[in-house]
Amino acid sequence: MSTTWDPAAYLTFDDHRARPFHDLLARVTARSPRRVVDLGCGPGNLTTLLTARWPAADVEALDSSAEMVEAARVRGIDARRADVIGWTPLPDTDVVISNAVLQWVPQHRELLPRWIAALGPGAELAVQVPGNFGAPSHVLVRELAAQRSLQLRGEGAVAEPAEYAALLAATGAEVDVWETTYLHRLTGPDPVLKWIGSTALRPVRDALDERGYAEFRAELAPRLRTAYPAQPDGTTWFPFRRIFAVARVR
């Protein structure tokens, strides 16, 4: 199933979504990298943090979505449309960031060691993927999708932290892997439905017609309200597990 993206909808929770990017970047030590790559740059709002941190670097940004590339370009990022599967680092690449992208790329477990092998000594590869495929937000979507014979990504879409640590360490790189569960405090009606509408629900939206998608959401909304109940003050706690890995080439 192909996935189309809506940059404006994706940016609705930009503060919450930016937090893991900051936490990932905090573990990258490069002082004056020559080339910094944002693999799957999305709407480019976080790419601007890379240009701000390393103003002298060549910042390369790519994404497979025409809509996202356009949104990044409007922001002044020199983004191009490309699939990470065919990407290889240029020889001067010192930092590679991929934030919340590789969960969409089933073969990423093979790509990571291949990229490390193509990077020079001292280069850093920093990756973050959501580790929440077993959370109610995803399980409920998969259950409703299965009733419509739609196959969505399951828990195997990403690896567990120990698996990333092992596959990166096997390259000989220095490895730093960790996980964090953020407790996002969301506001407004059906905030979890709104959150996943711009990410996990994109393949469902692409697969159904307008009426079918409206029915899907109408069935999903009360289930999500039960799994993530609104508090008396109207806010909703949304736990979101993220997995991080930074590899430094020796």
Ligand X SMILES: C[S@@+](CC[C@H](N)C(=O)[O-])C[C@H]1O[C@@H](n2cnc3c(N)ncnc32)[C@H](O)[C@@H]1O
Stretch that binds ligand X, among 51-59, 64-72, 110-118, 147-155 (CB under 6 A): 64-72
Q: Shortest gap between Cβ of 239 and ligand X (angstroms)?
A: 18
Which candidate, 129, 130, 126, places its Cα nearest to that of 53?
Answer: 126
Burial of 250 (0-12, 13-18, 19+ CB in 10 A): exposed
State yes or no: residue 101 binds ligand X (CB under 6 A).
Answer: yes
State yes or no: residue 21 binds ligand X (CB under 6 A).
Answer: yes
For ligand X, the binding residues in 191-220 under the rule CB under 6 A are 199
The answer to whether the CB of 132 falls within 8 A of the CB of 138 is yes
Contacts with 75 (C-beta within 8 Å, 6 or more apart), sequence order: 43, 44, 45, 47, 48
State yes or no: residue 83 binds ligand X (CB under 6 A).
Answer: yes
Minimum CB distance to ligand X smaller for 76 or for 222: 76
State yes or no: residue 119 binds ligand X (CB under 6 A).
Answer: no
Q: Using CA atoms, how far apart are residues 123 and 108, in angstroms rounded to an integer? A: 19
Q: Using CA atoms, how far apart are residues 71 and 7, in angstroms rounded to an integer? A: 7
Stretch that binds ligand X, among 40-48, 115-123, 139-147, 152-160 (CB under 6 A): 40-48
State the residues that interact with ligand X by CB under 6 A. 5, 17, 21, 40-42, 46, 63-65, 68, 83-85, 99-101, 104-105, 199
